Chains A and B, each alone.
Chain A
């Protein structure tokens, strides 16, 4: 695969990642275009989360190469694009001692985003009545909603969702779906990973399977 692929937000060319000497990803090649939703399915331990971290520029390739939003992975170019990447991971990235609203204010200030949009974001995700709860007093669904609100504020061009629908009720799932639709409508790319290929098939433009650190084939 050539790195010059036109219109692609993500290009990986034989990328591999090792963690503690163990090859977790090997020879990953893929291209993801604008306004595209890609699902990656695979069993536990297959390398899905590491692949998302690679795409988020939070892991470095130790073989092959890749570009994300125009920045070459493993170089300092990634600093310029990280603000355009949104990740919802397994563990909510929220500060436990702060309230949900304070977490959003902190994130918005650090990212240089408009703090006055927080109330609207909280309303959109249905947290207006629980915004002053501490993270430790909030349910899993509330934390996911708070993360969705943060992504509404930062409006990333590349949205990465790691099992983002697990443990959510119907309205929270609808919210994540709406987040994906917004991102696609704005020309962004979305990558979702899950162990459930059927779940991804209903939401993604195409679904790939990953096993033992290698992309196998379209599911």
Chain B
């Protein structure tokens, strides 16, 4: 079976498992919506402030809860499943790519659903022509966060408290993604050019993909 066939098969089964257990849909997304609700409650009836902070709250909640989406595979990755994949001849890099693919699809769904919830709850003032830049920023941020979560899950495989450790790895490394995502719309509003921020997101995604694929085997062996 080719590298890509293995990656697609792993992604397919990850999505099948998610469809059955529904971690993202039934647990993470509702909690993220509750978090979105907390800000307006704290601000009271200052509608102008609520409208102004909408996009910033979306990125903050999106990245924080997106980390949970990204790390859900690490929490579910049992040692015997890793052993099975090894003995079936699965390339660790194909496993990284497959998990990044399935995770990115889930993350995209999560982020777009969260965006709809933000639009409904905050009615934010958005600059003209926002949908395409926002979609691009959400797409690139989702891919980057998932790659980061998958990589952190691989690095912490076999360690105790791996979910907490993986979060500690993801949080600081997600800063370029938070900056790139949030500043894309800010720059559009100020008419200062969004390309540098989209390039930052793309470069981060590319660097994480290269690191994930290139380090997959050494990380796999180091965990044994």
Contact = CB atoms under 8 A, between A and B. Distances in A.
Contact of B17 (A59, A60, A95): A95
Given A109-B1, A109-B9, A98 B17 contact: yes
A110 B5 CA distance: 8
A92 interface: yes
Interface stretch (B46-54, B80-88, B115-123, B146-154): B80-88
B88 A95 contact: no
Given A58-B224, A106-B9, A111 B1 contact: yes
A87 B83 contact: yes
A91 B79 CA distance: 10
B85 to A, nearest CB: 7
Contacts of B28: none
A93 interface: yes
Given A76-B217, A93-B81, A110-B10, A82 B87 contact: yes
A59 B80 CA distance: 13
Contact of A83 (B5, B81, B88, B224): B88
B50 to A, nearest CB: 40
Given A58-B83, A58-B224, A60-B224, A111 B17 contact: no
Contact of B13 (A82, A83, A98, A111): A98
B221 interface: yes
A58 B86 contact: yes
A112 interface: yes
Contacts of B16: 97-98, 102
Q: How large is the interface on A (under 10, 10 to 19, 20 to 34, 35 or more residues)?
A: 20 to 34
A131 to B, nearest CB: 16
Contacts of A111: 1, 88-89
Contacts of A213: none
B90 interface: yes
B6 interface: yes
B204 to A, nearest CB: 29
Q: Is the interface of B mostly helix, strand, loop or mixed?
A: helix
B21 interface: yes
B20 interface: yes
A89 B89 contact: no
A110 B2 CA distance: 9
Contacts of B91: 79
B21 A97 contact: yes
Contacts of B21: 97
Interface string B54-89: 000000000000000000000000101101111111
Interface string A101-119: 0100011011110000000
A106 B13 contact: yes
A84 to B, nearest CB: 9
B24 to A, nearest CB: 14
A76 B5 CA distance: 22
A110 B83 contact: no
A86 interface: yes
A85 interface: yes
A215 to B, nearest CB: 22
B17 A97 contact: yes
B86 A82 contact: yes
Given A59-B224, A91-B78, A111-B89, 18 more contacts: A58-B224, A76-B221, A79-B89, A79-B91, A83-B87, A83-B88, A86-B87, A95-B13, A95-B81, A98-B17, A106-B13, A109-B1, A109-B5, A110-B6, A110-B9, A110-B85, A111-B88, A154-B88
8 contacts: A57-B86, A60-B224, A79-B91, A89-B80, A97-B20, A110-B6, A110-B9, A111-B89
Interface of A: 56-60, 76, 79, 82-83, 85-87, 89, 91-93, 95, 97-98, 102, 106-107, 109-112, 154
Closest 8 CB pairs of A and B: A83-B89, A112-B1, A93-B84, A93-B80, A97-B17, A111-B88, A110-B88, A97-B20
Interface of B: 1, 5-6, 9-10, 13, 16-17, 20-21, 78, 80-81, 83-91, 217, 221, 224
